[in-house]
Structure 1
């Protein structure tokens, strides 16, 4: 994303990024917004020994959100805004249910970043998408492990 080479714009300032790629980037940004909401919600419920990890994950998602926002701005697109709140897939009432929320958030993020890699012909965007997928998969494995979900790393992360 903005850490590497950026997609070039044509002389008339129209981005040379296909609409399908822009849409995938916007979905990834929306997932990053949702992931940050999920992590901040989960912090109220998770045990202290998980909180340090969660704060590091918040930093990682904040970085991804900033990079994708910059990338969209660089190609002349208005980044989607965060929603005021999101619906959790199940009620969050304790550490395990908060961890399950984070499993869901990371699963959604991996799928969104996979979409970016599939819908872009730009090498820097594909590399950024793959890197984000790998990082999200590491976070997913942690949260699946502490919530005792098996397998810890699902087969083909990012595929439903």
Structure 2
């Protein structure tokens, strides 16, 4: 495929969007460590499940990028929290921020990717993140707990 072709451009755009999704997944995995430290013991199972889902997705995306010949974006040593996490409600609100960040990144992949398999992955990932976000929004007391257009700001 010629480097300047529309197909090459769409592959580059899809790869760039996947890199952004990978970065969001890295941040979510890191952030759930903070969430887990601030929730009651009874909620740690949900935290562990969410963190595992993000780790699995992170590893899957890194493999896709590697197969494309791209160097997957690395995780950062630490991430800036958007606010202090001083309570279980704060932890739930942070989980919402993490899930919203991944949802937005996956919606961007849907917009940029040309390959069916990548678009299917993005749709599944965005949907799963929104389901988790709804549960966390309920715990944070956010009303309404969902939006008509998750990931679109």
Q: TM-score of the superposition, structure 1-length normalised?
A: 0.88
User: For each residue in 1:83-115, what CA deviation from the matched residue of structure 2 results, as whole angstroms up to 9, or x when unmatched?
Assistant: 111111111111111111110000010000000
1:132 and 2:118 matched: no
Q: Which runs of 5+ in 1 are unaligned?
A: 1-9
Partner of 2:42: 49
Return the alpha-carbon distance in structure 1 between the equivalents of residues 44 and 147 of structure 2. 23
**Residue among 144, 149, 152 paired with 2:145:** 152
1:84-99 to 2 correspondence within 5 Å?
84-99=77-92
What is the aligned partner in structure 1 of residue 76 from structure 2? 83
Q: Does 1:142 align with 2:135?
A: yes
Please tell me the root mean square deviation across aligned C-alpha atoms, in Å.
1.4
String of CA shifts for 1:15-72, please: whole Å, max 9, x gaps: 9562211110000000000001110111111111211111011111011001000000
Flag structure 2 segments of 5+ consecutive residues without an equivalent: 2-6
- Which structure: greater helix fraction? 2
Q: What TM-score do you get using the length of structure 2 for normalisation?
A: 0.92
